Amino acid sequence: MSYVIYSQVQMMKAVLGLADGTIIKGTGFGAEGTACGELVFTTQFTGYEEAMTDPSYKGQILMFTYPLIGNYGVSGERFQSDNIHAEGLVVREACKKPYHYKSTRSIHKFLEDEGKPGIEGVDTRMLTIGARERGTMRAALITGSDDGEEAVDVARNFPQITDEELIALVTCKEPRFIPGAAGAWKGSGKPKHAVVVDLGIKRNIINNLHKRGIDLTLVPATTKPKEIAGYEPDLLFVSNGPGDPEKATDAINAVKAFAGTIPVAGICFGHQIISLAMGARTYKLKFGHRGGNQPVKDLIENKIFISSQNHGYAVDADSLEGTGLYVKYLNANDKTVEGVSHKDLDIFSVQFHPEAQAGPMDTEETFFGKVVKVLGGDC
């Protein structure tokens, strides 16, 4: 067994500026430069590799509430995409000498390799309390400089996330076929085929569908219903992704076209899109849900699950009336909608991430088992 010898970490000046005028100076690491986006916080203790490479964080500067990040290094085995999608990283302390037998580089080197800036020495508790009280704000993170006025000015002039076109930056560029795991399909006949609308899909979602023997065709976010029909799918699956769900017009139209003809399922962003397609409304949360410890109640089974989440928008519960959808899951903290099902059709979705495995695996089989079941398979 061998261990990586980590080179000396290069540190620099850094400053974080918020649109409300807040200026936080700290120590920069990673790449020198400027990152702009919403400053959002996650409460997870581990899983920083998964979080930073989650395409849903596109357009956001990611802050961890846990005070030490990077202590087990970076292995690359848990990436959710090919690269970091968070625009920058804010932590109390970034571990300079990680220790884990699978680690190949430090979090400092990871950000440097990816051209992303980070800042440490920050009072993340104060910033988290501020976000909870005043809501999520635009921010600018500058490494190589500690000019706070410049950072605030950049933050104030950066577009709101509701105005950004983020989906095009994370979707696949062309269709891709992924055969299901050989011999894994449990059911009569040949394996079923799902068309997955890729709005920034996480690898673990693909893996969970793949390991259950389902053939997958990933298609770009702009794929039209006619093109999807050409693949003769048994299921339409709508993925997670970044930004405002109302901007995913092609995905919304795809759900409208196939609702009632084949089963339709979705996770996170996909849940919001399915709800919009059926006639519901969505709204932006004050500070969102991000972390691996969100309690969710199954209103039908009367059970509580601990779930992993990453979202800044939610479905308006009152707007579900008349859509055929009903609330199946509810957030036990703030009573926001965490999942819906249709009264008559095979349409269902969840706001949380059943594939995330951030520690609890409570919801994985609950969701993906239902996907298999609606396709005629055995769980």
List the one residue out of 163, 154, 320, 347 whose CA is nearest residue 246.
163
Contact 73, 4 (CB under 8 A): yes
Residue type at 208 in one-letter notation: N
Among residues 112, 268, 338, 342, which one is catalytic? Answer: 268
Residue 342 annotated as catalytic: no
Instruction: Render the burial of 15-53: b for 16+ CB within 10 Å, e for the rest.
Output: bbbbbeebebbbbbbbbbebbbbbbbbbebbebbbbbbb
Catalytic residue among 49, 87, 120, 355: 355
Query: Strands 176-178 and 117-120, how do they pair?
Result: unpaired
Clarify whether 100 is annotated catalytic: no
**C-alpha 357: how far from its chain's center?**
13
CA distances 320 to 52, 85, 323, 343, Å, are 33, 32, 5, 12
What one-character-per-residue DSSP string does 324-374 give?
SEEEEEEETTT--EEEEEESSSSEEEESS-TT--SS--TTHHHHHHHHHHH
Rounded-to-integer distance, Cα 347 and Cα 275, Å = 10
Q: Which of 193, 311, 342, 353 is catalytic?
A: 353
Give burial (CB, 10 Å; 0-12/13-18/19+) of 271.
buried
Helix or strand holding residue 30 (H, E): strand 23-30
Q: 120 an active-site residue?
A: no
Sequence-ordered list of residues with C-beta below 8 angstroms from that of 334, at least 6 positions apart, any chain: none
What residue type is 292 in one-letter code?
A: G
Q: Which residues are catalytic?
A: 268, 353, 355
